[in-house]
Structures are given as C-alpha cells and as structure tokens.
Amino acid sequence: MRRIVDDTRDAHSHCVLDPRCASRRVFEAVSGRWGPLVIMALKEDTKRHGELRRELKGISQKMLIQTLRNLEHNGLVAREVYPVVPPKVEYSLTPLGMSLQPLLEAVCQWSERHLAEVEEARLVAGQAPFRCGT
C-alpha cells in the first residue's frame, strides 16, 4: 500500500534536519542535556533555584543558571523575582513550556518501558549497563 504524504507537512517535519532552519534552533533549545529535565522538574509546581538544584542531582550551579536562562529566553520558563532581602526568585513553566511537558513525559515513559532492551543492546555492543542511583 502506497502512502500519500502531504508535501508541506513532510518538508516541514524535516526542516529540523537543516541547520539553517529556525525550527532546528528551537529543537536544539528544548532538547539539550538539562533542559528537558528542568521542564520535568517544574511540571507540577513553581520552584526556587536551590530546589531545582537538589532535585536535578549532578547539575552544576552554572549549568542550571544557563539552562534556566535558555528556557526563559525561549518562552518555556517564567522567572519571578520578589523584591525582598535576601532575594527570592521562583521558576515555573509558561503555557508554552506546559505544552512541551507531555511530550517529554512520553519520552520518560518510553525510556522506562524500554530500559531492558537498551541494556541488552549495550551489553551486545560491549558497553556497561546504565545503573540507577549512580
């Protein structure tokens, strides 16, 4: 059976493969190492910098600041500064960030569902298995 594809949709979905395409830059902005994890950490409520850092074990303070700025500049995270001493800053997902969260949730679920298969492939390739908690 031959599949008929809408040319505009097909061309648009492959635009992210072109380094000159703006959608590629959006894709890169939301798919870095820490960005998706920050979005997942903010999925249910507003958090302060320290809370995020504790939850995202392994992220440096510098990388968390860079990631939050990147997500804020791209409209995915809102930063609210309160005029108090000491300074209080809170981060939350914007509606745009909330629209991305279900897609990331699906990737998380896929990762958990297929962990055994990935582990088996890693062993066949001579790679060490992933370890939880390390």
5 vs 96: CA distance, rounded Å = 28
Nearest to 101 by CA among 77, 80, 78: 77
The residues spanned by each domain of the chain are 9-124
Q: What is the pTM of this model?
A: 0.81
Residue 54, pLDDT score: 95
Residue 15, pLDDT score: 84
Q: If phi over 0 gives left and psi between -120 and 50 gives alpha, with beta otherwise, what is residue 25?
A: alpha
Residue 2, pLDDT score: 45
Judge whether 37 and 43 are in contact, CB under 8 Å: no
Q: Which residues pair with 77 in a beta bridge?
A: 93
How many residues can be counted in the chain? 134
Residue 32, pLDDT score: 87
Which tokens is 6 given? 């809408």
Match domain 9-124 to its CATH number in 3.40.50.720, 3.30.365.10, 1.10.10.10, 2.40.50.140: 1.10.10.10
Could you report the average pLDDT of every consecutive run of 10 residues in the chain (134 residues)?
47 76 88 94 95 94 96 97 93 97 94 93 92 66
* Helices first, then strands: H and E counts in the chain: 7, 3
Judge whether 24 and 10 are in contact, CB under 8 Å: no
Residue 5, pLDDT score: 43
